[in-house]
Chain A
Amino acid sequence: MADPMVVAEGLHRHFGATHALRGLDLSVPAGTVCGVLGPNGAGKTTAVRILATLCRPDAGHARVAGHDVVREADKVRPRIGLAGQYAAVDDMLTGRANLRMFGRLSHLTRRVAHRRADELLDRFGLAEAADRPVGGWSGGMRRRLDLISCLLVRPDVLFLDEPTTGLDPRSRGQIWDHVRELVADGTTVLLTTQHLDEADQLADTVTVIDHGRAIATGTPDELKATIGDRLDVTVADPAALDRAVTVLEALTGAEPAPGDERLSVPVPGGGLRLADVVRALDHAGVAAADVRLRRPTLDEVFLRLTDRKEAVR
């Protein structure tokens, strides 16, 4: 495979006493989507800002599209797009005028900027609203405009910093569809997110960062495999919960996560036969409403890796 489209090595960055990045390594092969996961304050946004030439690392270096983001920032900029956590568009301009302006500022000729703006508005279903000021658009439409504002020059690398934070499920689905289309066109995408299903849906590889460092990298399946499958048991009668806990502890050697009537427990490496579980529960006199073995969710992987008790979503 060709050189990775995005490479970061040992990125350090502090703001005052806060160390946002402490030696972050990252690598995104061309044409893939890399999901960067991390709790708030893990350094996701700082990483994106450095890669998008907005901010300089204190130490370490990074190359995007083959160019150093500090020394050759002007060679990086024409090849990237950045969509951040807000709709970075001019509310007082129409959608079309916004796109034309960003096209001109990306040094397209007037003719090409106008043509590209029209194409993108059509392709991403915003043509109807295109001639109204963006201030009156819905949040979802504004974020979609924000995303397509990056596409006027057909970037090689697209940085999406929490592109769907605060959006309703339908708008989120639309953004996901847009991203999939871009990847099909060959764009490399680096996406930060707190929504783990977003990474599951879109990312080829996931890098989990915490305290400014990458602590795990792999495909979503690989990451899930590192913590093994899980066994979920739903008891029919809450009074039998204690007995069920004892049974599951004996079977797996792990303490089940507490729930009202559903117990969830990691399965040891060797695996576990569902029939054995049912028999053991039956033997202990526990009536099970549901017993299932499943892959862990990315949430569970994430919580395990970042070792935090609070939920991330």
Chain B
Amino acid sequence: MTALRWTVSDGLTLVGRELARLRGAPGQIVTLLLFPAVMVLLFGYVFGSAIRVPGGGDYREYLMPGLFAMVTFTAVHGVMVRMAGDASRGVMDRFRSMPTARLAVPFGQTGADALGGLIFVAVMAAAGLAVGWRPHRGLLPTLGAFALIMLLRYALSWAGVHVGLAVGDERAVDNLAPLMLPVTMISNAFVPTDGMPAWLRFVADWNPVSALTAACRQLFGNPGGPAGNGPWPLEHPVTAVLLWSAALLAVFVPLSVRTFLRRGR
């Protein structure tokens, strides 16, 4: 029982650490708040000027679910960098040599990322509302969509913890950043997949980014949702996102905990 109490308490201390980091870098708060708004404007008006939405409708309505999905996936890189940074600077070893609850470190890190994600998504949603995006299906499906976004983000952050710890070198992890672009772009987030070459379309259709985008479109009632003749993950996107999340958590929670406990052992 006390073990659980310390895990929660230490985990919260580590969440607080992430917030304190922001306090030390006010410029970062501005970036954090500005970036989602800039993305909405950039993608909404630059891409939106050229792309025709399948079945008609406003591109910014089509775009917002894709943007939500994109930031859900790119956030993983931040988690990796923070974990690898702690590992390479000896902070992780310090935690492990202290009486700190063993599980607090990975849980604290993923918890902190979830909190940051919530803020980011809220700002992005506000920016979306400002440029004309609307959820059309009422409160519950809307909340459901945000819940799915946060669930998948949380599951992905565990993968980030594992990779960050396993690599353990901040610069090496930094080099993974360019990978995030194709992962998020080869999807239905910004353009329909039907125009892609067959092999690329296959990858895009089965990309979990596409599943999350499709799920959000369905739950928000935005254009580009299931059409009745697409591949399975895009026809049952909510189920697909739930399955992806469950699979990621089942694999990476135990793996991350194990990597943390056995690091350098």
Contact = CB atoms under 8 A, between A and B. Distances in A.
Contact of A101 (B17, B89, B265): B17
A248 B53 CA distance: 96
A97 interface: yes
A54 B87 CA distance: 13
A93 interface: yes
Taking residues whose C-beta sits less than 8 angstroms from the other chain, chain B's interface range is: 20 to 34
B89 A105 contact: no
Contacts of A133: 24-25
Contact of B24 (A87, A88, A92): A92
Dominant SS at the B interface?
A: helix
B227 interface: no
A90 B21 contact: yes
A91 B89 CA distance: 10
Nearest to A78: B99
A42 interface: no
Nearest to A104: B13
Residue of A52, A54, A89 with most partner-chain B CB within 10 A: A54
A133 B104 CA distance: 24
Nearest to B18: A92
Dominant SS at the A interface?
A: loop
Interface of B: 6, 9-10, 13-14, 16-17, 20-21, 24-25, 89-91, 93-100, 104, 264-265
Given A93-B24, A105-B98, 8 more contacts: A52-B97, A53-B97, A88-B93, A93-B17, A97-B24, A105-B13, A105-B95, A106-B99
11 contacts: A52-B97, A54-B265, A80-B97, A82-B94, A84-B90, A84-B93, A93-B21, A101-B17, A104-B9, A133-B24, A133-B25
Interface of A: 49, 52-56, 74, 77-78, 80-82, 84-94, 97, 101-102, 104-107, 133, 149
